[in-house]
Structure 1
Amino acid sequence: MTGRVADSVAVVTGGARGIGEATARRLAEEGADVVVADVLGEQAETTAEAIAADTGRETLAVECDVGDESAVEAMAETVAERFGEVDILVNNAGIRVDPKPVTEADEESWDRIIAVNQKGVAFCTKHLIPLMTGGGDEEGGTESGATEGNGSVVNVASMGAEVARPDWAQYDSTKGAVVAMTKDMACDHAPDGVRVNAVSPGYVVTEYHLPDDPEEAREYREEQTTPSADGPGVLKRAADPREIADAVLFLASDEASFVTGTNLRVDGGVSAVGTGFDWDPA
């Protein structure tokens, strides 16, 4: 990997839309070939094709449920066959469940959110780090002959890992686990030449929030990302996915060569004031 991310290979999970799509596109704009991995297979194909057309970079779409280790292993094999090695892994895939206190949460919802948000990070890191460190085949190297570690893992956590919110124990606890894993994995893989960091977004306007009507969606996005008196955090607005993608790009790039084991809060100051989305300076 040279420059920012030029001529690297990046895998972005949950890359079909939202923060993942913005990240995959941002990495490609800076010269990376990109794997768009998502459980939404058709949408991953559409996103990958659009990024390739717009940037001229090579892209690959892979349908993958990160909560299923066998699916992750198959995805890693597909990536190895196509590219031979990986330089960047962005563990972005995540789900929400209906917010409720733990006294009302059922076992099925716990199992699913832990599988995707927590185990998914572990599974993807487990099967893709070997492609960064020369463990891609029995000879200790990848198809491209890489034998030295030179990789970056960026995990997408949440400001909810650090700021309490009523009814969000399930989601926020999985993101807290991601922050903890990030620090431990940074220790584990530093000898391999692999840096591991996290970003914790605040309120980001994605397809999850947008109305179906395109014009209404455009207006809603503009309204939410414009500062207002009752907006969230210190900056009093929500983020556009590209603003999170820019932070991921920094951590993934050589410009963050001395940064590992950190959690970069990209939340408009929500965690700085420590009172969740609502902040009244008075």
Structure 2
Amino acid sequence: MALPLEHTIALVTGASRGIGRAVSVELARLGAHCVLTARSPGGLEETDDLIQAATGQASTLLPLDLADNAAIDSIGPSLASRFGRLDMLVHAAATLGALTPVAHATECHFEQCMAVNAAAPWRLIRTTAPLLLAAPAGRAVFLTDAHARAPVAYWGLLGASKAAMENLVLSWADEVASHGRLRVTLFDPGVVATRLRAQAMPAEDASGLQRPEDVADRIALLCLPASDTHGALVGRD
């Protein structure tokens, strides 16, 4: 029996841990060949081990830093050269920066948040758009955070950078709405037990939180050819 994502290529950022890792495994189970990106080669290798254990198939590892503009810009041409296609983009990578009063934020923390949470998604859109538009059923899912829409004290860096990303993604979705085959979505997983959450709330009891695997299936559904969700912000439920 054919798998729903058989013979497709999926690019997943932040794939070395957390939601990015869980989504990579789920997409691979559905038949996709996953191209995994993150800063940590060791973490990517661990994700690849999980994929091979679940599917018997290897993934492609692409270690890179999302603050490296040239590295991101090369992704589209590299995928075109190696695979000749890209069917899915799941952007799960993010950085917290620092939880701090806006007036106390350092230039370094501000620039880091904007580079990873806002500029990197824009560059990913730019470098992958030609391939996604050419795909029979291109899908792009960008993970976001409620602080982008509900500003609260100390979360300004994350919130502002994710708000910028949301605007860029939804603008792009509107621009390609008439294309007919490409679907672009924002996904807010809610509170999940990830490393970023632990950095933000180190004293929190994470035992009752959602696990990355709890949200991976919903993200994978948005990547299926049958999904018609487009230009929307959706959540776990």
Q: Place the TM-score, normalised by the shorter chain, in its bin.
A: 0.7 to 0.9
> Residue 71 of structure 1: CA displacement?
0.3
Query: 1:249 maps to which residue?
Result: 220
Query: 2:210 maps to which residue?
Result: 239
Give the Cα–Cα distance (whole angstroms) in 2 for the partners of residues 155 and 93 of structure 1: 9
Query: 2:185 maps to which residue?
Result: 197
Identify if the C-alpha distance between structure 1 residues 6 and 65 changes in structure 2 by more than 3 Å, giving closer, same or farther.
same
TM-score for both structures, normalised by structure 1: 0.75
Query: 2:155 maps to which residue?
Result: 168
The reply to whether residue 159 of structure 1 matches residue 129 of structure 2 is: no
Query: 1:101 maps to which residue?
Result: 101
The reply to whether residue 261 of structure 1 matches residue 202 of structure 2 is: no
Q: Which has the higher helix share?
A: 2
Structure 1: 5+ residue stretches without partners: 135-147, 212-219, 227-237, 269-282
- Aligned to 1:7, the other structure's residue is in SS state coil
Give the Cα–Cα distance (whole angstroms) in 2 for the partners of residues 246 and 176 of structure 1: 25
Identify if the C-alpha distance between structure 1 residues 164 and 132 changes in structure 2 by more than 3 Å, giving closer, same or farther.
closer
The reply to whether residue 9 of structure 1 matches residue 3 of structure 2 is: no
Opposite residue 150 of structure 2, the aligned amino acid is: V
Query: 1:53 maps to which residue?
Result: 53
> Residue 207 of structure 1: CA displacement?
3.8
- Aligned to 2:128, the other structure's residue is in SS state helix
Give the Cα–Cα distance (whole angstroms) in 2 for the partners of residues 70 and 80 of structure 1: 16
Query: 1:38 maps to which residue?
Result: 38
Give the Cα–Cα distance (whole angstroms) in 2 for the partners of residues 240 and 252 of structure 1: 20
Partners of 1:32 and 1:57 within 8 A in 2 = no
Opposite residue 198 of structure 1, the aligned amino acid is: L
Give the Cα–Cα distance (whole angstroms) in 2 for the partners of residues 113 and 86 of structure 1: 27
Identify if the C-alpha distance between structure 1 residues 97 and 224 changes in structure 2 by more than 3 Å, giving closer, same or farther.
same
Partners of 2:137 and 2:225 within 8 A in 1 = no
Larger-Rg structure: 1
Partners of 2:7 and 2:31 within 8 A in 1 = yes
Give the Cα–Cα distance (whole angstroms) in 2 for the partners of residues 156 and 103 of structure 1: 27
Aligned 1:91-130 pairs, distance under 5 A: 91-130=91-130
> Residue 254 of structure 1: CA displacement?
2.2
Identify if the C-alpha distance between structure 1 residues 14 and 49 changes in structure 2 by more than 3 Å, giving closer, same or farther.
same
Give the Cα–Cα distance (whole angstroms) in 2 for the partners of residues 21 and 239 of structure 1: 15
Structure 2: 5+ residue stretches without partners: none
Partners of 2:41 and 2:63 within 8 A in 1 = yes
Opposite residue 167 of structure 1, the aligned amino acid is: Y
Percent identity among equivalent residues? 25
Give the Cα–Cα distance (whole angstroms) in 2 for the partners of residues 178 and 67 of structure 1: 15
Opposite residue 151 of structure 1, the aligned amino acid is: G
Deviates more, 1:192-201 or 1:152-161: 192-201
Give the Cα–Cα distance (whole angstroms) in 2 for the partners of residues 169 and 81 of structure 1: 40
TM-score for both structures, normalised by structure 2: 0.88
> Residue 224 of structure 1: CA displacement?
3.1
Runs of 4+ in 1 over 4 A off after TM superposition: 208-211
Give the Cα–Cα distance (whole angstroms) in 2 for the partners of residues 80 and 58 of structure 1: 19
